[in-house]
Each structure stands twice: as structure tokens, then as C-alpha cells.
A and B are shown apart, each in its own frame.
Chain A
């Protein structure tokens, strides 16, 4: 089974609204990353949060990490139509191997 599991599987919102996606994992991690994948394209790295960090910001992105609950959330504020994509969390245990979740499909309606 996948290390990371995203919730919800699909999310549809209006432009300007905030979007929150969650990721849960099973084993201890060193880092957790979020990636975006536009339809038919490769993945793009968004943000990395280390296991000793609780929150991190990058532009309109806010990531939180709760290692006691083995979960992370990605918040996209003031969403735009261009944010429509699939979002994946990925974890590593200190090595360079990433384990990806199943992804959340976000649709932002103009």
C-alpha cells in the first residue's frame, strides 16, 4: 500500500476560495514534500517540510506537518484556475527514495 494517502481524492472549488488537501502516512519520515502535476505533464516540486518543522509557507502555499498524527496538509489560498492539477505528497525516510501518495485532483472553476 502507498505510504502517503491524500484526502480528499477530488476537490472542486471556485476561483478565489482556499483549497486544503491532507496527506497521511504510516511510517516515520525524514521529510515530506508536495508536488503538483498538470494534466499530461510531469510533476513539479512545490515545497519540502522537514520532520522537525511544523509549518512552512511559500507564496500562496502553506504546509503543516503533525508527526504525532503522521499527517500533513497543503493549503492553497486565493486559488486560481491555473491551480487546477493533481497534488501529491511524497515522503522519505532519510534516503533519497520518495514514496508518493495517490494524489488529490483539484479543480478550480473560473
Chain B
């Protein structure tokens, strides 16, 4: 079974630039999550999709972050404009149920 795919793996941008991350979940998983993990901390949920609908985006900084999940499969997370404090690893996860989540390798973003 293929795992959760994410791209790019690394990205370096300057502040105020825009960036987008892509996630392809495990086939058949209805639920998809985006997390932000700052160095030395645990992952923090940004947004949760159930199929192509948003279930929870209460911790998403909506003035600069946006996400979509077209057709209930792949998802993109965008930051526009980026700030220095957005430097983190962005993790995508998918789940077939409400328990176990399967994580991708993450995208390490550095904002200079």
C-alpha cells in the first residue's frame, strides 16, 4: 500500500513570498489533515477535511493560509504572504477512521 505523498520535501522562500504544498493521501482515506510542526514542538492541526468538505479549520490563520481538497482526493495548502514564523515542517496525514492517522514525510519550509 502506497503511503501519503507530499511535495516538495524542502522549500526555501523569502518573507512575503507565496508557497504551496501538495498532498496525495492513501487511496480510499476519506479524512485528510494538514499539520504545522515547529522545530522542537508537536504537530498542530491546521485543517481537517472529510472528503472535500472542511471539518475543522479553527486553528488555520485564514488571513494568510488557505487549503483545498478538490474531488476529495489530493489537497494543497498555500501560504500567502509568508512570514518568518511560518518556518516549520508541514505534515499531511490521512485516515480511514477516527483513530489511526497515517503521515506523509512532510515539507520543510524555511522563510528567510
Contacts and interface: CB of A to CB of B under 8 A. Distances in A.
Interface of A: 2, 4, 31, 33, 35, 40-45, 48, 88, 90, 92, 95-103
Which among B31, B42, B55 has the highest number of chain A CB atoms within 10 Å? B42
Given A96-B95, A103-B42, A44 B103 contact: yes
Contact of A96 (B41, B91, B98, B103): B98
Interface string B44-69: 11001000000110000000000000
B101 interface: yes
B105 A97 contact: no
Nearest to B31: A96
A41 B106 contact: yes
A43 B41 CA distance: 13
B4 interface: yes
A86 to B, nearest CB: 9
B26 to A, nearest CB: 12
Contact of B99 (A31, A99, A101, A103): A31
B85 interface: no
B45 A98 contact: yes
A42 B104 contact: yes
A43 B48 contact: no
B54 to A, nearest CB: 13
Given A96-B55, A96-B98, A42 B103 contact: yes
B106 A42 contact: yes
A33 B95 CA distance: 14
Contacts of A98: 45, 101
5 contacts: A42-B104, A48-B100, A96-B95, A97-B56, A103-B42
B95 A4 contact: no
B99 A43 contact: no
Contact of B42 (A2, A42, A45, A95): A2
A44 B44 CA distance: 16
Contacts of A101: 42
A41 B99 contact: no
A42 B105 CA distance: 4
